Amino acid sequence: MTTVAFAGPVVALRFEDDVLVALDQTALPWAERWLPLRTADDVADAILRLAIRGAPLIGVAAGYGVALALLTDPTAAELERACAVLKGSRPTAVNLAWAVDRVARAASGAGDHPPLAAAALDEARAIHAEELAASDALASHGAGLLGSSRRLMTHCNTGALAAPGRGTALAVVAELAARGRVELVIATESRPLLQGARLTVYELARLGIPHELIVDSAAAGLIARGAVDAVIVGCDRVAANGDVANKVGTYGLALAARAAGIPFVVAGPTSTIDPACPSGAQIEIEERDPAEVLGAASEGGRAELAPAGTRSRNPAFDVTPAALVSALVTERGVVRGPSVDAIATLLGPR
Amino acid sequence: MTTVAFAGPVVALRFEDDVLVALDQTALPWAERWLPLRTADDVADAILRLAIRGAPLIGVAAGYGVALALLTDPTAAELERACAVLKGSRPTAVNLAWAVDRVARAASGAGDHPPLAAAALDEARAIHAEELAASDALASHGAGLLGSSRRLMTHCNTGALAAPGRGTALAVVAELAARGRVELVIATESRPLLQGARLTVYELARLGIPHELIVDSAAAGLIARGAVDAVIVGCDRVAANGDVANKVGTYGLALAARAAGIPFVVAGPTSTIDPACPSGAQIEIEERDPAEVLGAASEGGRAELAPAGTRSRNPAFDVTPAALVSALVTERGVVRGPSVDAIATLLGPR
């Protein structure tokens, strides 16, 4: 475990010399600490304690975890054990189970021979490469759409710390910055877990993109006063009609953007579109531990902001109606004014 | 300095036995500590370090401060000195200078005799009584307006800790609760200074009013999902046309309330209406110390939430257009759909 501080794009994960090296997100932004993960159990532990977070990033890491297990013990028994350990680390993460199963299938092949570590590693690398390509494609589509927006606002963390490559909404921001188009990014702190203050600001600083951190409730007033040209956010789930579930606070930004007449853009891979979900009304809003509202992560550890026992409520997401979404940016392209038909066309025949 | 914990309405200030006893707001919500203030310098110090805060509350305290000075040294020199010390404690607070001058005038009378401590104390008590009556009148008007709203959302702190009596918006909530009409109050934490989490929740708990604390960005989504029947907030300045400047985040609540079709009510004394200010466009938005965004008050003192040196921006207020304000509640009555004419009628001939 070493500490390295340097500028440049954040790479949350890299695989080299049979070691998965992961940036410890629990230490950010206070320290850049790299974790060398040598076994499936190391990977599972890093996922469990949120050193690696973000569904797509977890999936890639878990894929490598299966390969690491087989590199030391290429047996069917070890494969089964490693898959169980990895899937158990964040049982509700769909990407994780999907990636683990995909790598396990590749290692096992069709026959009865012992699983092949090399095949597992190739598949883990393939998943990683696919995610990188998707992020780049999404970034390019988004930058084409927002080429005239010099000042952007974003919410939560949607960069390289959340998804492989450059992420989703923040990948678009990074691409625009690479094209010399970004004057300012306003990042919301994103209470209660402060992904904006802790992670987005860290990524923007690393990328050398001019930015300002604000409290969440300052966003609407700044939008009204013309402080930004567009708002771009990620998405956790998109319904078939284009309604968007995303980090709590997104809906308020969409209302303010519409009132100010500026674009409100949602970026995410097509895998976040759920054609089986007709509209936002069918999206269940996860209520997280109310204790998160009573405190905050700080340099000195958790800080208590309200007395223990204070009653609180902690919806993790909100739903933005499709009517407020100017465009949906995916790795396959852009849907302007999302609708049932436009989204079905994007996804193509199934 | 003693610690007393008990239930019941919060009384932030009381004057008894020639001592001004003030609830130390810097210790809340972690401890209820009463400060016995025996001199003008004690009062000035308490105001300076925010143990007493909220413009109307500061005004009342400073009025008593003048009387305290004259109780020990009823001379013109001491009067002059005490007034200067008190006015210097928060030089930008208009109420403070106004109350100090009013009490000083009453003590001096028209003649050349030494200032009269008894006259000063009478005037300080008169200011206090006027503010209490105004708070009660406002609460009664607001409760009449919102009698059918069982679930309310409020922002920042507008209760007994901000203004004498029961406050403004929170006074309306307290009056509705006293009439048995309140099922739930949702209080926003109100970053960056957490007046909601630290003070409003404390007041609601003391009053026994059912409440839930949320992060600011959860408000819009909860309003959209029908979690409350109305939103009620205070105001820092109201323009002649009804545009409202208030704690940052207010505008976002107004947008969400309008989108959900629920009342958005603003409560404040007529002294916050500025007939010389035509509209919100002329209201300058104070930008406070950006460092406030990077940290938070916590049980253990200030907690650092983002690295020192992070660029941040900290607008203290935002402007809500009159078109989004369902009603303005004052001590003189209610203005539904505020407009230039309706507000001029409320204020009467000048």
pLDDT tens-digit series, residues B277-286? 999 999 988 8
Q: How far apart are CA B174 and CA A131, in angstroms?
A: 54
Do A26 and A47 touch, CB atoms closer than 8 A? Answer: no
pLDDT surpasses 90 at B205: yes
Q: Which residue has the higher pLDDT, B349 or B137?
A: B137
Q: Which residue has the higher pLDDT, A272 or B112?
A: A272
CA distances from B3 to A309, B23, B330 (A): 20, 10, 35
Rg from Cα positions in chain A? 20
| pLDDT score at A350 | 59
Average pLDDT rounded to a whole number, residues A277-286? 92
Average pLDDT rounded to a whole number, residues B137-157? 97
CA distances from A132 to A146, A269, B265 (A): 21, 11, 49
| pLDDT score at B1 | 32
| pLDDT score at A190 | 98
Range in A326-340, B93-107, B244-258 the model is least confident about? B93-107
CA B77 to chain centre: 33
Cβ pair A221:B313 closer than 8 A: no
Average pLDDT rounded to a whole number, residues A44-55? 92
Average pLDDT rounded to a whole number, residues A303-321? 95
Range in A20-24, A107-111, A329-333, B79-83 the model is least confident about? A107-111
| pLDDT score at B90 | 83
**H-assigned helices in A73-161:** 76-89, 94-108, 117-145
Q: Whole-number mean pLDDT of chain B?
A: 94
State the best of B154, B194, B204, B251 to mutate against chain A, taking most chain A CBs within 10 Å: B251
- Annotated catalytic residue: which of A236, A243, A274, A289? A236
Helix (H) or strand (E) segment spanning residue A213: strand A211-214
Q: What is the pLDDT of residues B96-119, one digit of tens each?
A: 998 999 999 999 986 778 889 999
Residues of chain B in contact with residue A224, where contact means CB-CB under 8 angstroms, are 251, 318-319
Cβ pair A306:B213 closer than 8 A: yes
Cβ pair B186:A313 closer than 8 A: yes
Chains A, B: CB contacts under 8 A, how many?
205
Average pLDDT rounded to a whole number, residues B58-84? 96
Asked if the C-beta of A206 comes within 8 angstroms of chain B's C-beta atoms, the answer is no
Annotated active-site residue A236? The verdict is yes
Q: Which residue has the higher pLDDT, B97 or A321?
A: A321
Q: What is the DSSP-derived secondary structure letter of residue B247?
A: E
Q: Indicate the pLDDT class of residue B6, thresholds 50, 70 and 90.
A: low
Do A334 and A326 touch, CB atoms closer than 8 A? Answer: no
Cβ pair B252:A315 closer than 8 A: no
Q: Whole-number mean pLDDT of chain A?
A: 94
Of the candidates A152, A157, A139, which has an alpha carbon nearest to the alpha carbon of residue A29? A157
State the best of A185, A305, A319 to mutate against chain B, taking most chain B CBs within 10 Å: A305
Do B198 and B29 touch, CB atoms closer than 8 A? Answer: yes
Average pLDDT rounded to a whole number, residues B226-245? 96
- Among all residues of chain B, which has the CA nearest to that of A227? B313
End-to-end alpha carbon distance in chain B: 46
Residues 24-43 of B with CB under 8 A from A: 29-30
- Among all residues of chain A, which has the CA nearest to that of B192? A215
Tokens 């049979």, residue located? A18
| pLDDT score at B93 | 67
- Which residues of B are catalytically annotated? 236
Q: Look at strands A244-247 and A295-298 and give their pairing.
A: unpaired
| pLDDT score at A181 | 92
Average pLDDT rounded to a whole number, residues B127-143? 96
pLDDT surpasses 90 at A320: yes
pLDDT surpasses 50 at B196: yes
Residues of chain B in contact with residue A305, where contact means CB-CB under 8 angstroms, are 189, 194, 197-198, 296-298, 303
Q: How far apart are CA A98 and CA A108, in angstroms?
A: 15
Q: What is the DSSP-derived secondary structure letter of residue B196?
A: I
Of the candidates A170, A172, A65, A69, which has an alpha carbon nearest to the alpha carbon of residue A128? A65
Q: Which residue has the higher pLDDT, A104 or A1?
A: A104
Residues 239-278 of A with CB under 8 A from B: 248-249, 251-252, 255-256, 259
Range in A138-142, A283-287, B48-52, B111-115 the model is least confident about? B111-115
Residues of chain A in contact with residue B305, where contact means CB-CB under 8 angstroms, are 189, 194, 197-198, 296-298, 303
pLDDT surpasses 70 at B2: no
Beta bridge partners, B336, equal B327
SS3 A280: helix
Residues 144-203 of B with CB under 8 A from A: 186, 188-192, 194, 197-198, 201
Nearest CA-CA distance, residue A147 and chain B, Å: 25
Q: How far apart are CA B58 and CA B55, in angstroms?
A: 5
Q: How far apart are CA A345 and CA A270, in angstroms?
A: 12
Average pLDDT rounded to a whole number, residues B152-179? 96
pLDDT surpasses 50 at A2: no
Q: What is the pLDDT of residues A152-182, one digit of tens each?
A: 999 999 999 999 899 999 999 999 999 999 9
Q: Alpha-carbon dihedral of residues A188, A193, A197, A200, nearest 10 degrees?
A: -80
- Among all residues of chain A, which has the CA nearest to that of B248? A218
| pLDDT score at B349 | 78
* Most confident by average pLDDT, A107-116, A133-142, B102-111: A133-142
pLDDT surpasses 50 at A35: yes
Asked if the C-beta of A219 comes within 8 angstroms of chain B's C-beta atoms, the answer is yes
CA B116 to chain centre: 31
* Angle of the A117-145 helix axis to the A94-108 helix axis, nearest 10: 140
Average pLDDT rounded to a whole number, residues B224-246? 96
Q: How far apart are CA A326 and CA A254, in angstroms?
A: 9
Q: What proportion of chain B, given as a percentage, has pLDDT over 90?
A: 87
Q: Name, in order, each residue with C-beta under 8 angstroms of B33's C-beta and a sequence gap of 6 or more.
A: B1, B2, B3, B23, B24, B27
Q: What is the pLDDT of residues B295-321, one digit of tens each?
A: 999 999 999 999 989 999 999 999 999
| pLDDT score at B110 | 64
| pLDDT score at A3 | 36
